[in-house]
Amino acid sequence: MELFDLTGRTALVTGSSLGIGFALARGLAQAGARIVLNARDAGRLAEAAQVLRGEGFAVDTLVFDVTDAAAVKAAVDGYEQERPIDILINNAGMQHRGPLEDFEVDAFDRLMRTNVNSAFYVGQAVGRHMIARGAGRIINIASVQTALARPGIAPYTASKGAIANLTKGMATDWAKHGLNCNAIAPGYFDTPLNAALVADADFSAWLEKRTPAGRWGKVEELVGAAIFLSSKASSFVNGQTIFVDGGITASL
């Protein structure tokens, strides 16, 4: 359908060498977009790009650390000299678990830089070019922890709450320039980041009982929301966080 067609669009997905980022990049490519993969590890990024090119998709790569504001700006500005970035998915993130009373300050700072600062750095760098063109789509990856908390991940919960409000702020400041800024909040998905939890039989049993859908999510199930928010279909959607979580935030 034309409403969901991304042909001719270019999408930058941060942290896209594996996991959710890679799945979203592949999904947007299937909808017609040219993909710009990003990661710090050049080798892993090249492998991911090779896979997608082997499937017939147009793929570029940008190696930069999303927590380095100067590196972000240089990479984005350099790429924009060749081709405009029409869609940005701020996916890069990390998790660090531990009791809040013992949580190390350095670990807290690193988590915030990776999960929050990066969305600001990349969002601003790309957003400036989008503003100049009067159009663009920014999708920040939030989390079920944007709305809920669990023991041992208070700083992560704080970072994902910040992402939802940063998204609202982006929409409030930039909608008048033609940008649509929204967020996707995944529930519990079977990804490398959650490998320890997936392997924990007790946790998986708890999750299946707690989630109305009764299972872990599959990363491919996030693609539809990403295509929707990247396309004409969401032309009047702004500042929203869409939960893709099997119903976990809807149920006690």
- Reading the block at residue 235, the tokens are 């032309």
Spot the catalytic one: 79, 121, 156, 188.
156
d(CA 145, CA 153) in angstroms, rounded, equals 9
For β-strands 10-13 and 34-39, DSSP reports them as: parallel
| Distance from C-alpha of 167 to C-alpha of 240, rounded to nearest angstrom | 7
Sheet holding 59-63, edge to edge: 59-63, 34-39, 10-13, 87-90, 136-141, 179-186, 241-244
d(CA 26, CA 154): 32
CB-neighbour burial class of residue 38 (10 A; exposed 0-12, middle 13-18, buried 19+) = buried
Which has the closest alpha carbon to 130: 80, 90, 58, 71?
A: 80
Write the DSSP symbol of residue 178: T
- Alpha-carbon span 139 to 89, nearest angstrom: 5
156 catalytic, yes or no?
yes
- Catalytic annotation, residues: 156
